[in-house]
Amino acid sequence: MTWEQRISAALAERRAADAFRVRGAVENGAGRFLTRDRKRFCNFSSNDYLGLSQHPQIVRAWQQGAERYGVGSGGSGHVSGYTTAHQALEEQLADWLGYPRALLFISGFAANQAVIAALMGKDDRILADRLSHASLLEAASLSPAQLRRFAHNDAGQLQTLLAKPCDGQQLVVTEGVFSMDGDSAPLAQLHAGAARQNAWLLVDDAHGIGVVGEEGRGSAYQQNVKPELLVVTFGKGFGVSGAAVLCSEPAADYLLQFARHLIYSTSMPPAQAVALSASLAVIRSDDGASRRARLAEHIRRFRRGLAGLPFRSTDSHSAIQPIVVGDNGRALGLAQGLRERGMWVTAIRPPTVPPGTARLRLTLTAAHEADDIDTLMEALHVASQ
């Protein structure tokens, strides 16, 4: 088989399964409305949960950062790319979340890959929730460590796996709020189980940070848990992009020596770090609290409406509200029907989610109005007939 034949066969298989992914350029993809081909849609596919991507205070902070530092960092943080703006943001994050250190990464994907690649050796074992993000599972699969997956949020099965003999160290991996189901991990049970076997817990709280807990401190803080490794990302609640790993002093120094994604990547622009500091200030302010309250009310409103519809949902009380329909074609048809009614909704299909669980992944944000939720529910009611 030639390269061309291999590629053609893989693409044909995706198309036949109604699983072929396409991208479409939009004029604006965050916020309450999305514009594509000069048509405006109410946006139910954005991860900008607090509506901060267009917050004037944060936009102006990025502009001021660019005026001071320029638009790029100029290199890796180990060479010349670590500025006082990066340092200030790391210190603010560590203080906010109660950790000795924070290390910035260019993305959440890079942070997860870097931590697992740097820490795990051939005698070690990774125990990952089966529904963990692709960045975590791919890093675990590529590492020399043994990978064992436990049933979703099943602390009992995790404990059984942890008790099996292991020559090296064990790392438990999970998300705080799961990106496709929107439900939350039982972090207290997972952490206690890990501690009994001297294992560490890594929590990717991409969808919880900024959104849940006091001052938006996230899932772990909300559950009174302090995982040894906490990954927070800035493309959701913060409304920007990038990520950070929160950890101990020795772990931070270790990652600075051995995390190749950190060592050999150009650091985020200093202007971005300035914007993230501004975003953190908003998240911790009364404005941030008001936005979280508004989002929580939207979630309650949506779930009340969904209870009267013949759709399968998940146990999600987060901004992520999936409607599981099973069949790929039906998910695509529902998404298209909603777009025809002026709502931008995305169908998520395997392999992103398990086979037979194709869904509409609806996301609610503080930028929405109550009328937006009601209009969405009316459209779902029509689609269910």
Q: Which residues are catalytic?
A: 47, 133, 175, 179, 204, 207, 236
What H or E segment, with its residue span, contains residue 204? strand 200-204
Pair of tokens at residue 374: 């009601």
Q: Residue 284's closest CA among 97, 154, 104, 130?
A: 97
CB-based contact 73:270 (threshold 8 Å)? yes
CB-based contact 194:165 (threshold 8 Å)? no
Q: How far is residue 169 from each of residues 114, 121, 140, 145, 310, measured CA to CA in Å?
A: 17, 8, 14, 9, 46
* Euclidean distance between CA atoms 385 and 379, whole angstroms: 10
CB-based contact 176:208 (threshold 8 Å)? yes
How many secondary structure helices (H) and strands (E) does the chain include? 14, 14
CB-based contact 297:224 (threshold 8 Å)? no
The residues near 304 (Cβ < 8 Å, ≥ 6 apart) are none
* Euclidean distance between CA atoms 68 and 33, whole angstroms: 32
* Euclidean distance between CA atoms 364 and 182, whole angstroms: 11
